[in-house]
Amino acid sequence: MKMDPGLMYDMIECVGDEDDEDDEVDAPKNTSLSKIAEQRAKQAYMGEGFLGGGKKTELPVVVEHYYENLLALALKDYLKSEKWKVVRALGLYKDSKPDYNEIEAGPGRRVNVLTQGRLLLSRAGSRLEVRVKFSRHGERAWIAVEGPAGIKNEVKRFAADIDRTVKKLQLYKGQKIKYNGGLEFLQPGAKTWDDLSLQPEIKEELVANTVGFLKRSKELAKYGIPRKRGLILAGKPGTGKTLISKVLMSNSPGVTCLAADPALLVHARYIRELYDIAGDLRPAIVFLEDIDLIGESRGGPGARGDALNELLDILDGVRECSEVVTIATTNYAEALDDALSQRPSRFDRVITMRPPGRELRREIVRNLCRRIPLDPAVQEHVVCMTEGYTPAQVQEVIYGLVIQSRSLYDIRKGYRFTREEVDAVLRRISRRNNGPIGFKKEDIYYK
């Protein structure tokens, strides 16, 4: 993890009053007793005197902003496991209050943690103060542990244990996550290769160059093969590119799957951080949806030069990218810069997803009819009449039959549709003669 060791473990000696007793509030002349009480109450609220007088020792633990949840969770768990009692929680600044927020502690699990403020702690006669500051506008997040110089080793151990917990990154390793400025857990569902109707050679190519490659990366490195890989999935919308990504996420145990936010890809810093995270959590697969957002030819009007150059530098190995596979998708492969699509070692393979042939369409229809039972003759008619349709369009034919059905449902035989009903749905979906309903005619792709 990219942390500055100098910031992590610099000892900061703050020289204060040598007297170890709590400072008293001296009452100026002509000051009322209520004013003195108010002053002492404010001093107590701000925690003054909690650590006593004399020298203090302070140690910071600093993390990149995208690991701030991990830092807060590490602190929360450490206080519980080490039995530190929270005497009081205060605001980080004068007249402020402590900030608590719910954060993700795993897939489907949320906990409430301190995200900005001060904790006054005690345990077996020892006292510490911990200040917590989440990041703002992308700067680093940090905690600072402070205590009397006499328990310097205890302060050091506290900070070191938190730092060690954070550096293990166990919360995120091997998980399916999205990076949108922060790390968000994904639950792709139990997708399998059976949910995809793919030509066998394409499936073999996908597995060998992703999960299989990461499993064998050390072995392959003996032959001088770089321990990184890149694939572009190209094809018109609805050909299954996104579903392939979900299937890979669901079938990559022990591999961190990191999905990029397409809206943020245009920022070079975001791409840099994305691959920093992938490097920390490797072995990893990075998913770049709609790579054409930044990957258009650099001579074109929509080119995003800084972001594209940053990505090329990373893929070229200018920055360490070992044990990381990148999968990019695009609907417009022809618009990509040649440096992306025509240069192995950046993206090593381009896999073009085309509308399925008859056998694959039959498989798609058969899979859909596990839940929507149709008469076999109707299934075959759908297969015959959807030449050139994408998998998503074939699916819509089946859905459309049920949604607009006037046929009766038989629990044993399923829906009893006629060929005429199938043809009626197809006429709407293909939008013949520029009709108002369905897909555009030019969106039906014929071989």
Place of tokens 């209050």: 97
Average pLDDT over residues 90-107: 92
Identify the CA nearest to 121 among candidates 90, 88, 152.
88
Type and span of the H or E element at 110 = strand 109-123
| 44-53, 110-119, 373-382, 394-403, range with the lowest pLDDT | 44-53
Predicted confidence at residue 215, as pLDDT, reads 95
Predicted confidence at residue 319, as pLDDT, reads 65
Confidence at 169, pLDDT banded by 50, 70, 90: very high
Place of tokens 């381009």: 350
Predicted confidence at residue 190, as pLDDT, reads 81
Confidence at 143, pLDDT banded by 50, 70, 90: very high
| 51-65, 185-199, 261-275, 421-435, range with the lowest pLDDT | 421-435
Confidence at 254, pLDDT banded by 50, 70, 90: very high
Q: Between residues 267 and 296, which one has the greater pLDDT? A: 267
130: Cβ contacts below 8 Å, ≥ 6 apart: 75, 118, 119, 121, 143, 144, 145, 146
**Gap between the Cα atoms of 152 and 439, Å rounded:** 70
Average pLDDT over residues 380-399: 90
Predicted confidence at residue 34, as pLDDT, reads 59
Average pLDDT in the chain = 83
Question: What's the maximum distance between 2 C-alpha atoms anywhere in the chain?
Answer: 102
**Gap between the Cα atoms of 221 and 199, Å rounded:** 29
Full set of structural domains in the chain with CATH:
5-171 (3.30.530), 184-352 (3.40.50.300), 358-443 (1.10.8)
pTM comes to 0.80
Type and span of the H or E element at 312 = helix 305-316
Predicted confidence at residue 447, as pLDDT, reads 34
Task: Look at strands 256-260 and 284-288 and give their pairing.
Answer: parallel
DSSP 8-state symbol, 182: S
29: Cβ contacts below 8 Å, ≥ 6 apart: none
pLDDT at residue 18 above 80?
Answer: no
Task: Write the pLDDT tens digit of every residue in 302-326.
Answer: 445 788 889 988 988 766 689 999 9
Confidence at 165, pLDDT banded by 50, 70, 90: very high
Residues 430, 438 contacting (CB under 8 angstroms): yes
**Gap between the Cα atoms of 297 and 255, Å rounded:** 32
Average pLDDT over residues 110-122: 96
**Gap between the Cα atoms of 104 and 112, Å rounded:** 9
pLDDT at residue 14 above 80?
Answer: no
| 3-12, 39-48, 84-93, range with the lowest pLDDT | 3-12
Average pLDDT over residues 281-295: 92
Return the exposure string of 380-409: e unless at least 16 CB atoms fall within 10 Å of the residue's CB, then b.
ebbbebbeebbbbbbbbbbebbbeeeebee
Task: Write the pLDDT tens digit of every residue in 335-350.
Answer: 888 878 787 878 899 9
Predicted confidence at residue 111, as pLDDT, reads 96
Predicted confidence at residue 91, as pLDDT, reads 94
Q: Between residues 371 and 10, which one has the greater pLDDT? A: 371
Predicted confidence at residue 268, as pLDDT, reads 92
**Gap between the Cα atoms of 382 and 389, Å rounded:** 11
pLDDT at residue 21 above 80?
Answer: no
> How many Cβ atoms are within 10 Å of 142's Cβ, its own excluded?
18
Confidence at 334, pLDDT banded by 50, 70, 90: confident
* Percent of all residues in the chain with a pLDDT value above 70, rounded to a whole number: 81
Cis peptide before 283 (omega within 30 of 0): yes
Predicted confidence at residue 46, as pLDDT, reads 57
Predicted confidence at residue 199, as pLDDT, reads 86
Q: Between residues 146 and 195, which one has the greater pLDDT? A: 146
| 20-34, 63-77, 82-96, 207-221, range with the lowest pLDDT | 20-34
Identify the CA nearest to 391 among candidates 127, 196, 155, 228.
196
Average pLDDT over residues 88-109: 92
Confidence at 441, pLDDT banded by 50, 70, 90: very low
Phi-psi region of 107 (alpha: psi -120 to 50; beta: other; left: phi over 0): beta
